Amino acid sequence: MAKTVLITGANRGIGQQVARVLATQGWDVLVGARDRKKGAAAAKRLREDTGGRLRAVELDVTRDGSVMAAARALRDGAIKLAALVNNAGIYGSAGPAQTLETNFFGALRTTEAMLPLLVDGGSITNVTSSLGAAGNLDAGPRAELLAIVERDALAEHVRALVRAQGRGWGTDAYGASKAALDQLTRILARELAPRAIRANATDPGWVRTDMGGRGAPRTIEQGGASVLFGVTTECTGGVWRDGERID
């Protein structure tokens, strides 16, 4: 039977590329998109391009109601996920709180909602950035972050940073959001090991998308392949680029 993957923010960019490749490989692909029309258009486009099985799922990772509704719809459809790719992300103009909300809390919220639907032996891939490498943080924030071993404590830590308007981040909000996402990945890997669910963070590198801009050195195919490693690897708990462990 075909495996099912849910990819957030898959209506364009790297998420769409990951959807394209997995559809070509025979996966049933759920194209997560916060805008229903954009999601439907992307799923249609990819069905035409690949001949694969893709359908849109409306999912705004920053809204509890949206994420819960998506999880309910999948549950009611008796859909089980073999893979979840937390790809949705923002960079730049939206401001620190919204950046943390989307890039960190969005992945946490989606993961928690989808965990009951994830099969034992499945995978969670969090799309990160080298800007979030723990090595970029100042020593104090780095030690504090890496010492956190539970999801709730990590969420509280990030909420406190938002309340403090960034004092203590040790980097900008985007870097902080991805550093926290990497730590969430390590926590999930340990927590879900008894169910053989693998959790990895994968960095696409600097890629020519709307986010990366035209001057980025990497193609969308290269970025997508780097992310896809998280779906296929037997490893867990790592941060990877192009299949090489970077953190």
Ligand X SMILES: NC(=O)c1ccc[n+]([C@@H]2O[C@H](COP(=O)([O-])OP(=O)(O)OC[C@H]3O[C@@H](n4cnc5c(N)ncnc54)[C@H](OP(=O)(O)O)[C@@H]3O)[C@@H](O)[C@H]2O)c1
Residues that bind ligand X (CB under 6 A): 8-9, 11-15, 34-35, 38, 60-62, 87-91, 102, 106, 127, 129, 203-204, 206-207, 209-212, 216
Rama region for 170: left / alpha / beta (φ>0; ψ in -120 to 50; rest): left
Least separation in angstroms between residue 57's CB and ligand X is 10
Least separation in angstroms between residue 141's CB and ligand X is 20
Least separation in angstroms between residue 168's CB and ligand X is 22
What are the beta bridge partners of residue 207?
A: 218
Nearer to ligand X, 93 or 120 (CB): 93
For residues 5 and 32, the answer to whether their CB atoms sit within 8 Å is: no
Is 186 buried (19+), middle (13-18) or exposed (0-12) by CB count in 10 A? buried
Nearer to ligand X, 90 or 189 (CB): 90
Tell me how far apart the alpha carbons of residues 157 and 80 are, in angstroms, rounded to a whole number: 32
Nearer to ligand X, 6 or 154 (CB): 6
Nearer to ligand X, 38 or 53 (CB): 38
Least separation in angstroms between residue 1's CB and ligand X is 28
Return the exposure string of 189-207: e unless at least 16 CB atoms fall within 10 Å of the residue's CB, then b: beebeeeebbbbbbbbbbb
Length of the chain: 247
Least separation in angstroms between residue 117's CB and ligand X is 18
Nearer to ligand X, 64 or 150 (CB): 64
